[in-house]
Amino acid sequence: MIITFDWLKDHLKTNLKEKNLLEQLTNIGLEVESVESLSSDNELFKVAEIIKTEKHPNADRLKVCDVNIGENEIKKVVCGAENAKEGLLTIYAPPGAIIPKTQTKLVVAKIRGVTSYGMLCSESELNLSDESDGITELTKEFRKNIGKSYFSKSKTNLIDLSITPNRPDCLGVRGIARDLAASGFGKLIDLKEKKIHSKNRHTLKVKINKERGQGCTAFGSCLITNVKNSESPKWLKDKLISIGQKPISAIVDITNYVMFDINRPLHAYDADKIEKGIIVRNSKSGEEFTALDNKNYKLESGMCVISDNKGVLGLGGIIGGTRSGTEFNTKNILLESAYFDPGSIRNTAKKLNLDTDAKFRFERGIDPLSIEDGLNKAAKLIKEICGGEISKIDVQKIETYKTKKIKFDLNIFEKISGFKISLKEMIKILVDLGFEVKKDKKRLELTVPSWRPDISQEVDIVEELVRISGYEKIKYIEPIKQRKKSTLNKFQKLFHFLQRSVASKGYLEAITWSFTDKRYNDYFKDTNKEIKIINPISSELGVLRNSIFSNLIMHINKNLDRGFKDLSIFEIGPIFNGSNPGEQNTVVCGLSAGKKSRLSWIEKDRNVDVFDVKRDVVQTLVEVGYNSEKFFVDNKTPSYYHPGKSGRLFLNNKKNQIAAYFGEIHPNIIKQIDIKTESLVGFEIFMENLELPKKNLKDLKAKFSFSDYQKSERDFSFIVNKEVKAQDLIDTISNVDESLIKDIKVFDFYEGDNIPENQKSIAISVTIQSSERTLNDYDLEKINSLIIKTVEDKTGAKIRS
């Protein structure tokens, strides 16, 4: 938002200087992004008169003009404009001046052999309008100003403010002045516009269709007849030029001026081009119209359009159309001041890639009660400059604005801010900001002004009071350096412990969006419903994830394509099962792809399998503090797991809540996504379903020991009943001698020929190693026999011959 101190003083009575203004703006939370001096070069552009013109001796289309630039000083200027003639008052730019449009610095130059001292400027070159045919023609009133600067001399600067999206009221000079007045920088000038009292009827019918998703809730208008559109007066041009806007015509300039002045976007239609009244409705798919930017737009269904009997006149709150645009010969205009839903504006503008000053304001929230104020101010200026007769104001509504009220506890301010201000100061600040205030014992009853959509609760009021009274009043208190107790609760500790635990098993942590691609999410949503995002950051990330797999599988596939053959990644974060607050769960999710020991010369490589991922899940839960002997595992898993190579795990036999899923990803998913890997397995641990362990997690640090002595590996193949699980064998073997048995792996599973019915073969590799000495043959044979005997006694298994 660009402002000038001069414009600000139209609304603010103050004796302070501009340097004080810049500091105060920052103090009240309106960040000054940059300050630019209004180009001193503008003072070089002078009002001048052409005294004499001659044909250029070496060019048919050029003229050599004698130009009076003041005090009877005559300059020779070569000019190609057809309207350059004797007696014409125009604008002269001397050598050294910089042309605003092209940023070209003028020098004394020879043009076809004739020296030209400067140039005569068109309105387009000076950014006064789009008129580029011929040089500027000034009226007779400027004759007394020959030799003087055309542009008003001003020491004020361009102040560019970074207005946050929650402060739409400060997108008008009036709103900024109000904040400054509340902070004591001056007094807000009362600019109450007298209401239009007219006996003239509004003859153009306006209707807002009541339909689903209607983006317009109020449409105010008035008819102004017999106007004479013209060039804007100098004061109005100067206002717009001072903030970088280009004057166009009086009617358009007035609507722009009102928008920047009081943050009330308006639109003027040529009433004679409107066929049988205005209809505000939703667009139909495929409708087209040509906008004022001279581009043709094809509309989708559900966009808010202003239309007549012939079709679309413009996009409500964004841009008008050429068919109903005002021109210099316009006689009758319909002046519009409406309220459009911010969400509707944002969606339409994004789909059509449109960005306008009106859209920028409406999508943030315009004051819904400023409709008549805008019409009054603009209509009177049009009558004053262009003449005409104003009709009665007509306001059509399909919704009534509901005033927001807040009960503000007086004690809450000090609790949040850490300092006190008097009740009298509180009330004064709030009143100056536009609040209606009633005192009731220990609280204030506040009515929120309609131009502040960002105020909805007590803490917002605290923010306003702190902002205006001064952030410098907040005391700086050094934090206590010694913690007496942990700042994390049990759930947070578990969260970070699980991160470290999974990472210690060779998984790399990934951090992805909470939203995902619908195509990937469909593979992993199982029976959950899809949760669409209304305003996604991109079309590829349009839904909230039902499973973290949808993002992990996307990124593991990218890494595999880049040549990373064996990879394990995990993420801990939310998944969503509904669109309401709280309908989400925190999950630890991991994926492993490829082989184990691919490049090892000690161990034979093999594909990662369900037993690897099961081990990771069980070991992680054991490290947290759960008893693995109470775990219960069955094979009922979601549809995205391999039905015969996956399982679900409960912390106990009660089967109250599922603690985890693990297994191979379904082959159909791997095929459809076209993942080029030998094997893909994954797991999900559901944090909300874990009963927090009684032990402190800090006491559960893993104890790692390394032996310098030779290890030995022994393979065992057991025949067991089908109901016996591989984990039962692993648990039994691990308890034989914990000091010697270092690792246990399942490497084969078989059912079929040479195996009795209702039985299966499970092959297990056991790593045996002492941390005290090298084991001899007798030691190894003894532990081998003990393993076989223990497994046979406890599980009923038999060693396979």
Q: For residue 378, give both structure tokens.
A: 């603009």
Do 2-38+155-188 and 405-473 come out as alike in CATH topology? yes
**679-704: pLDDT as tens digits:** 999 999 999 998 776 665 654 444 44
Average pLDDT over residues 705-717: 84
> How far, in Å, CA of 706 to CA of 641, rounded?
36
User: Is pLDDT at 153 greater than 70 in this prediction?
Assistant: no
**216-229: pLDDT as tens digits:** 999 999 999 999 99
Q: What's the pLDDT at 652?
A: 84
**Domain 206-397 is in which class?**
alpha beta
Average pLDDT over residues 562-584: 91
User: Is pLDDT at 207 greater than 80 in this prediction?
Assistant: yes
- Percentage of the chain beyond pLDDT 70 is 96
- Percentage of the chain beyond pLDDT 90 is 56
b/e 146-165 (16+ beta carbons within 10 angstroms → b): beeebbbeeebbbbbbebee
Q: Mean pLDDT check: name the lowest of 5-19, 517-531, 589-603, 729-743.
A: 589-603
Q: What's the pLDDT at 101?
A: 82
Q: Mean pLDDT check: name the lowest of 148-152, 219-223, 535-539, 709-713.
A: 148-152
Q: Are 375 and 219 in contact (CB under 8 A)?
A: no
**Domain 490-699 is in which class?**
alpha beta
Q: What's the pLDDT at 481?
A: 72
**555-572: pLDDT as tens digits:** 999 999 888 888 999 999
Average pLDDT over residues 13-38: 85
**Domain 40-145 is in which class?**
mainly beta
**297-331: pLDDT as tens digits:** 999 999 999 999 999 999 999 999 999 999 999 99
Q: Mean pLDDT check: name the lowest of 115-119, 271-275, 735-739.
A: 735-739
Backbone angles phi, psi at 632, to 5 degrees: -125, 130
Q: What's the pLDDT at 600?
A: 64
Q: Mean pLDDT check: name the lowest of 151-160, 497-506, 678-687.
A: 151-160
Q: At what angle do helices 610-624 and 726-734 cross, to 10 degrees?
A: 50
| CATH code of the domain made up of 405-473 | 3.30.56.10
What's the start-to-end Cα distance of the chain, in Å?
86
Q: What's the pLDDT at 386?
A: 94
Q: What's the pLDDT at 130?
A: 73
Contacts of 508 (CB under 8 A, 6+ apart): 567, 568, 569, 570
Q: Is the pTM of this model over 0.85?
A: no
Q: What's the pLDDT at 657?
A: 86
Q: At what angle do helices 490-503 and 610-624 cross, to 10 degrees?
A: 140
Closest CA to 82 of 44, 122, 114: 122
Q: What's the pLDDT at 703?
A: 47
Q: What's the pLDDT at 702?
A: 45
CATH of 712-799, one of 3.90.1200.10, 3.30.70.380, 3.30.300.30, 2.60.260.20: 3.30.70.380
| CATH code of the domain made up of 2-38+155-188 | 3.30.56.10
State the pLDDT confidence band at 154, using cuts at 50, 70 and 90.
low
Radius of gyration of the chain (CA): 39
**511-522: pLDDT as tens digits:** 999 999 999 999
> Can you give the three-state secondary structure of 517-556, one letter per residue?
CHHHHHHHCCCCCCEECCCCCCCCCCEECCCCHHHHHHHH
**622-671: pLDDT as tens digits:** 988 888 888 899 989 999 999 989 999 998 877 778 999 999 999 999 99
**36-87: pLDDT as tens digits:** 775 555 778 899 999 999 999 988 889 999 999 988 899 999 999 989 999 9
Q: What's the pLDDT at 757?
A: 85
Q: What's the pLDDT at 699?
A: 46
The domain limits of the chain are 2-38+155-188, 40-145, 206-397, 405-473, 490-699, 712-799
